[in-house]
């Protein structure tokens, strides 16, 4: 174990794990810090924690929260509470495509969920040991992302569409995605999906399992190996902590939660819309009045502004 390197990292906060070419060395150093009770060696020693910019909901940010938490990385969240907050971020020019998730990390402002996840996985050695492992991890991660996309949308659907969507989610999980992952685990008999060691694929899959179970509590009965994986991953100290109440994990967006979220956004959006309407009607009224007044100047006093009256 390279204690010299570990000590150098501790002394130099800017030093990061991704400078270590050999993942085994990285793992050893990580183990060293874990053993010595100094978790989050890559971040706690760095200048700042990653800052996550998103709504107060799971959405597309939840996988990022899971991955950071599993890697033992502490992070901060700047919650977008209103349309105004979102507009401000957009106007500040920090959202490359005018969208969130956005993560401030290592001096960068990262957008696009997949790119962010790739970066975190690479940095914290959760992305396999070679190209072949990596492509498997990508395949599995993309599969879970497709399934997750349906789940992310589900709480925000109009009530008339929810039932169909829920049935689709259950059907896909039960007959396509979960059997596929069960088969992978059965094929090699190992503890993790790829390369017999923890990768982002395991974290994404277990996150998905938790989310699907919230929608269908019996679904796991037919998938014993997935259940075992879930238990294994849930018992990792970092994940265990994240699963406990009071962590940064976001709750399932039930109807009440969605209503609250919509209210804070609709109110701000409506205000903006109303202001625009008001300004437009004011402009139109002024133009009409000016036309009348130019034909009959003394009539100016007869026209009072309807917007101001209102
Ligand atoms: N491909 C992007 C999609 C991002 C996206 O659709 N973000 C939504 C929130 S989940 C957003 O920013 N919506 C606000 C807007 O477009 O004004 C990603 O994966 O990050």
Ligand 1 pocket, residue 230 CB under 6 Å? no
* DSSP β-bridge partners for residue 55: 80
Which residue owns the Cα nearest ligand 1 atom 12? 99
The pLDDT assigned to 2 comes to 45
- Residue 260 forms part of a structural domain: no
The pair phi, psi for residue 93, each rounded to 5°, is 75, 25
Q: Mark whether 86 and 158 lie in a shared domain.
A: no
Nearest atom of ligand 1 to the alpha carbon of 100: 12
More confident: 253 or 211? 211
Q: Mark whether 59 and 148 lie in a shared domain.
A: no
CATH number at residue 169: 1.20.1050.10
Which residue owns the Cα nearest ligand 1 atom 18? 112
The pLDDT assigned to 1 comes to 40
- pTM for this one? 0.75
Q: Mark whether 137 and 230 lie in a shared domain.
A: yes
- Residue 242 forms part of a structural domain: no
Ligand 1 pocket, residue 117 CB under 6 Å? no
Q: Mark whether 95 and 143 lie in a shared domain.
A: no
Mean pLDDT over 110-122 rounds to 98
Q: Read off the pLDDT of residues 148-197 as tens digits, 9 standing for 90 and up.
A: 999 999 998 988 899 999 999 999 999 999 999 999 999 999 999 999 99
Range of the domain at 135: 131-234
Domain boundary among 67, 90, 123: 123
The pLDDT assigned to 310 comes to 33
- Residue 16 forms part of a structural domain: yes
Is the CB of residue 213 less than 8 Å from the CB of residue 207?
no
Residue 24 has pLDDT above 80, yes or no: no
The pLDDT assigned to 268 comes to 54
Nearest atom of ligand 1 to the alpha carbon of 116: 20
Q: How far is the CA of 125 from the centre of ligand 1 (A)?
A: 27
Residue 13 has pLDDT above 50, yes or no: no
- Residue 32 forms part of a structural domain: yes
Q: Mark whether 187 and 152 lie in a shared domain.
A: yes
The pLDDT assigned to 267 comes to 55
Q: Read off the pLDDT of residues 224-253 as tens digits, 9 standing for 90 and up.
A: 999 999 999 999 999 999 999 999 999 998
* Confidence tier at 266 by pLDDT (50, 70, 90): low
Q: Mark whether 33 and 66 lie in a shared domain.
A: yes
Q: Read off the pLDDT of residues 187-209 as tens digits, 9 standing for 90 and up.
A: 999 999 999 999 999 999 999 99
Which residue owns the Cα nearest ligand 1 atom 11? 99
CATH number at residue 97: 3.40.30.10
Buried b (16+ CB within 10 A) or exposed e, 149-175: eebbebbeeeeeeeeebbeebeebbbe
């Amino acid at each position: 174990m390279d204690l010299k390197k570990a000590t150098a990292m501790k002394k130099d906060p800017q030093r990061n794990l991704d400078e270590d070419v050999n993942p085994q060395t990285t793992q050893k150093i990580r183990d060293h810090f874990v053993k010595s009770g100094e978790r989050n060696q890559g971040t706690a020693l760095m200048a700042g924690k990653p800052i996550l910019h998103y709504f107060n909901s799971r959405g597309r940010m939840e996988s990022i929260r899971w991955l950071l938490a599993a890697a033992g990385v502490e992070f901060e969240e700047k919650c977008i509470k209103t349309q105004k907050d979102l507009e401000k971020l957009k106007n500040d020019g920090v959202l490359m495509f005018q969208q969130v998730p956005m993560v401030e990390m290592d001096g960068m402002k990262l957008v696009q969920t997949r790119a962010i996840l790739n970066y975190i996985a690479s940095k914290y050695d959760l992305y396999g040991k070679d190209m072949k492992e990596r492509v498997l991890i990508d395949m599995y991660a993309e599969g879970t992302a497709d399934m997750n996309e349906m789940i992310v949308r589900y709480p925000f659907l109009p009530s008339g569409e929810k039932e169909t969507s829920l049935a689709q989610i259950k059907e896909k999980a039960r007959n396509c995605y979960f059997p596929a992952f069960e088969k992978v685990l059965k094929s090699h008999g190992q503890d993790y999906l790829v390369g017999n060691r923890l990768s982002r694929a395991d974290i994404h899959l277990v996150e998905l399992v938790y989310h699907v179970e919230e929608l269908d509590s019996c679904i796991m009965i037919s998938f014993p190996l997935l259940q075992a994986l879930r238990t294994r991953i849930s018992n990792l100290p970092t994940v265990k902590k994240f699963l406990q109440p009071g962590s940064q994990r976001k709750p399932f967006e039930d109807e009440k939660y969605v209503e609250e979220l919509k209210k804070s956004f609709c109110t701000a959006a409506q205000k903006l819309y109303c202001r625009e309407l008001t300004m437009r009607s004011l402009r139109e009224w002024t133009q009409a009045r000016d036309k009348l007044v130019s034909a009959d100047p003394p009539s100016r006093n007869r026209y009072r502004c309807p917007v101001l009256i209102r």
